[in-house]
């Protein structure tokens, strides 16, 4: 099932649980605006090349729309639409005053030089600058983009609108980025994991973890779990997968990754088939990579007791049902990976105030928001007698629906 179909299915299930009016339900599902632009740039060799860029602005009932911009060959309107909708529910679950958006350019950033990436980013910003803004739509980094990408967007946008640091988040610290933003999603995943484990009388210390994806989110989650006494028995990235039954030395692996391309060459663990990673023996499985990796083909073989969805849409609805029947506890993506957008909100607030916070305050506030969101989800689970995914979806959809009604959506 593709990401859009799965997201719509979860939304409709939540809408039925909440008893939403059918017209309101349909209204909440339809995106506010869909933008498609052609971005033509000269390559370094002088030839012209054109890429298609998208920005889907899903909902702004609770505040400016918010969401990442990804550079990836498989960016398409359906995927971007699904991710924009997920952002609407995610910001509502975290209870931060944003709506949802998502964007992307269909390109492979690995095939482009730094100067080509800069030209592409600036042209994309020129095409959409009058449709984003501090109080309209605030982009952030995503797959294939980073703080430098945001710096280029900020600079190009400011040429049209004056100095506007709050127009993007995930910026370099020197341009108004927030301390703690780089680790935010991974740290949020850890706070979410602590919250759900505590419900079952457990803690991170001594538990066995498997982490799929060793990019920004996965590597930070691994480091922070290791620091808390968790035992990471297997990890993977696009170069391969490794395992060590007594636990991988994560600080050593992080040092190794800085100077080596392939994970498989790390001496402190054995190489394994990446396809076996998701079904490897562990207590907690944390998918941090692409969507749809846990599906009806492999769900029955998953051995983890807890799945923490650090990636967007890693579990297909069919797999959800299989795992639920096995008693696996799934902490859904719209809560588990909300740490990034929460600290993006803190960055936006700091930019608007023109006053920067200490990293300790950022992390303390993030912990407070993540813990409160878990309690809110748990309350919805008890009210509606549902699992954590539907608890999160009913919480997010209900907040957006209330804001929409209060604003007078039928006028």
**How confident is the model over 353-367, as pLDDT tens digits?**
999 999 999 999 999
Angle at 21 between CA 17 and CA 25, to 5 degrees: 80
Report, as an integer, the average pLDDT of 147-152.
Answer: 97
Inform me whether the pLDDT recorded for 3 exceeds 80. Answer: no
Q: Which residues line the annotated binding site for NAD(+)?
A: 185, 216
Domains and CATH numbers, the chain: 31-164 (3.40.50.10860), 183-331 (3.40.50.720)
**What are 190-211's pLDDT values in tens digits?**
999 999 999 999 999 989 999 9
Encode pLDDT of 264-289 as tens digits.
Answer: 889 889 999 998 999 999 999 999 98
What are the tens digits of pLDDT across the range 338-389? 999 999 999 999 999 999 999 999 999 999 999 999 999 999 999 999 999 9
pLDDT tens, residue by residue, 297-333: 999 999 999 999 999 889 988 899 999 999 999 999 9
Q: How many CB atoms lie within 10 A of CB 13?
A: 17
Phi, psi (rounded to 5 degrees) for 85: -65, -40
Question: What is the C-alpha to C-alpha distance for residues 314 and 54, in angstroms, rounded to an integer?
Answer: 22
Residues contacting 335, CB < 8 A, separation 6+: 90, 93, 94, 192, 373, 374, 377, 388, 392
From the list 23, 43, 102, 303, the catalytic residue is: 102
At residue 1 the predicted structure's pLDDT band, cuts being 50, 70 and 90, is low
For 57, the enclosing helix (H) or strand (E) is strand 48-59
Confirm whether 102 is a catalytic residue. Answer: yes
Mean pLDDT (the chain, rounded): 94
DSSP letter assigned to residue 137: E
Tokens standing for residue 69: 């911009």
Best CA proximity match to 232, nearest among 263, 207, 199, 264? 207
Confidence band, pLDDT 50/70/90 cuts, at residue 260:
confident
Q: In the prediction, which pLDDT does 411 show?
A: 54
Provide the annotated binding site: 66, 90, 185, 216, 344
At residue 113, the 3 state secondary structure works out as: coil
Distance CA 146, CA 232 (A): 27
Helix (H) or strand (E) holding 67: strand 65-71
pLDDT one-digit tens code per residue, 48-95: 999 999 999 999 999 999 999 999 998 888 888 888 999 999 999 999
**pTM for the whole structure:** 0.93
The rounded distance, in Å, linking the Cα atoms of 218 and 233 is 14
């Amino acid at each position: 099932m593709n990401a859009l179909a799965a997201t719509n299915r979860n939304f409709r299930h939540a809408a039925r649980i909440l008893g939403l009016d059918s017209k309101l339900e349909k209204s909440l599902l339809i995106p506010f605006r869909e933008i498609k632009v052609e971005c033509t740039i000269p390559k370094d060799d002088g030839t012209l090349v054109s890429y298609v860029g998208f920005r889907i602005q899903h909902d702004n009932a609770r505040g400016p729309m918010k969401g990442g911009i990804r550079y990836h060959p498989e960016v398409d309107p359906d995927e971007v639409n699904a991710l924009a909708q997920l952002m609407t529910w995610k910001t509502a679950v975290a209870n931060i005053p944003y709506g949802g958006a998502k964007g992307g350019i269909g390109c492979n950033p690995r095939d482009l030089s730094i100067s080509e990436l800069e030209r592409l980013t600036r042209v994309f910003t020129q095409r959409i600058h009058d449709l984003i803004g501090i109080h309209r739509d605030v982009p952030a980094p995503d797959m294939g983009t980073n703080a430098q990408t945001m710096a280029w967007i900020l600079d190009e946008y400011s040429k049209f609108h004056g100095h506007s640091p709050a127009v993007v988040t995930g910026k370099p610290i020197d341009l108004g980025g927030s301390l703690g933003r780089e680790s935010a999603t991974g740290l949020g995943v850890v706070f979410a994991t602590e919250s759900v484990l505590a419900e079952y009388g457990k803690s991170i210390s001594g538990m066995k973890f498997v982490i799929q994806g060793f990019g920004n989110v996965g590597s930070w989650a691994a480091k922070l779990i290791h620091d808390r006494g968790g035992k990471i028995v297997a990890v993977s990235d696009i170069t391969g997968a490794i395992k060590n039954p007594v636990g991988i030395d994560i600080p050593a692996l992080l040092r190794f990754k800085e100077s080596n391309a392939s994970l498989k060459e790390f001496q402190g663990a054995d190489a394994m088939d990446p396809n076996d990673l998701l079904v490897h023996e562990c207590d907690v499985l944390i998918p941090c990579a692409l969507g749809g990796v846990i599906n009806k083909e492999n769900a029955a073989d998953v051995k983890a007791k807890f799945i923490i969805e650090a990636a967007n849409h890693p579990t297909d609805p069919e797999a959800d049902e299989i795992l639920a029947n096995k008693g696996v506890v799934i902490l859904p993506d719209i809560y588990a990976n909300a740490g990034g957008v929460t600290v993006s909100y803190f960055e936006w607030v700091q930019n608007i105030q023109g006053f920067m916070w200490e990293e300790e305050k950022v992390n303390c506030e993030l912990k407070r928001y993540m813990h409160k969101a878990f309690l809110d989800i748990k309350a919805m689970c008890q009210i509606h007698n549902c699992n954590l995914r539907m608890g999160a979806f009913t919480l997010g959809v209900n907040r957006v629906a209330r804001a929409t009604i209060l604003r007078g959506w039928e006028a």
